[in-house]
Amino acid sequence: MTFHIGAKPGEIAETVLLPGDPYRARWAAQTFLKDAVCVNEVRGMLAYTGTWNGHRVTIHGTGMGMPSLSIYVNELIRDYGAQTLIRIGSAGALQPHVKVRDVVLAQACCTAGSPSRTIFRELNFAPTADFGLLKAAWEAGQGRSIGIHAGAIYSSDTFYDERQDLSDQMQRHGVLAVEMEAAELYTLARRYGRRALAVLTISDHILTHEALPAEDRERSFGDMVDIALTAAFA
């Protein structure tokens, strides 16, 4: 057990999927895992361990934002031996060709601030995905009814962002989407020598203001989870 994870030794798999929403963790476990068992409920942050195609998998919520994710990923790696960590979450599209329901694979992340920023001081560290996971996810995404994109994303440390000038520069420089966690995940994975990837479903569009209806979210998020699991064990 740790301060924030109540799982016993051996109850967390080496492969961990990381949705922000703990209820999404429950939905994904019930939908995709066999014999899923709840292994954490501390502070309401649900985690489940089961099997997918014979492979052990844990699906663990992280909460919203990089500070919250940083807590769980540090403990999952240092105390439970997690080796492969894949964020499964939602994102807002920043480019016209990226559509609602599409899946974005975060090849690299840019950010204005993260919990790790104090470590690097003047260095602008560029957190990137594990290439093997990225390649496998790209291949797993082909032939589906959704669009799939790979490129840079923006991990924001604020949800209600009033910096339109910053959004304009992101769009100008080809950043595909915005979310709130992946940059810190990638940084921690590099620090500890682990594999990491963010597989993101576009739930809304910053330019058009289109949003995915609530009743369509589970069906649309299913492709994201399936791509993540396929990539993890490719």
Specify binding-site residues for phosphate: 20, 24, 43, 87-90
- Residue of 21, 79, 161, 204 marked catalytic: 204
The tokens of 52 are what? 């997918």
The CA radius of gyration of the chain, in Å to the nearest whole number, is 16
Distance of CA 145 to the CA centre of its chain: 21
Q: What is the DSSP letter of 206?
A: T
Is 204 a catalytic site residue? yes
For the chain, how long is the longest CA-to-CA vector? 48
The whole-angstrom separation of Cα 146 and Cα 7 is 36
The annotation places the binding site for a purine D-ribonucleoside at 4, 179-181, 203-204
Encoded tokens for 132 = 């093997």
Structure tokens belonging to residue 48: 């489940």
The closest of 96, 119, 104, 89 to 187, measured between CA atoms, is 119
